[in-house]
Amino acid sequence: MATSRQAELEIGQRLARLRLSRNVTQATLAKAAGVSVRTLRRLEAGAPSTLDTFLRVATALDLEEAIVSALPEGDIRPIERVSRKGNERRRARPASGRRQNSTWTWGDQAHD
């Protein structure tokens, strides 16, 4: 999938096909998910939606385990654990290891 819009469309279509394969109406699924039928229709049509709405519908379709298992754990690699003496990484830094100079300003400085 090249864009988030394409992903939204694909996810919506898959949810709709899954709902239909289980012979569940939009009204029934919407009620089980705690969302309005209109919201469910928009999600199935691939319209922009919230993560909360998606997760509610996925949970109502009993997909929460599949969604969570689709994401890697992100565990620290053993060699990093040894080199960091057991400390877990809490922040990421640029690949160069140095801070990059930001061109962002507050806007109250005089321009040259």
Q: Where are the domains of the chain?
A: 4-70
Q: Specify the CATH class of 4-70 in words.
A: mainly alpha
Residues of the chain whose pLDDT is less than 70?
1, 75-90, 97-105, 107-112
Residues near 60 by beta carbon (within 8 Å), at least 6 away in sequence: 29, 32, 33
Q: Give the pLDDT score at 108.
A: 64
Contact between 19 and 61 (Cβ < 8 Å): yes
Q: Which amino acid is at 32?
A: A
Q: Give the pLDDT score at 71.
A: 84
Distance between alpha carbon 60 and the CA centroid of its chain, in Å?
17
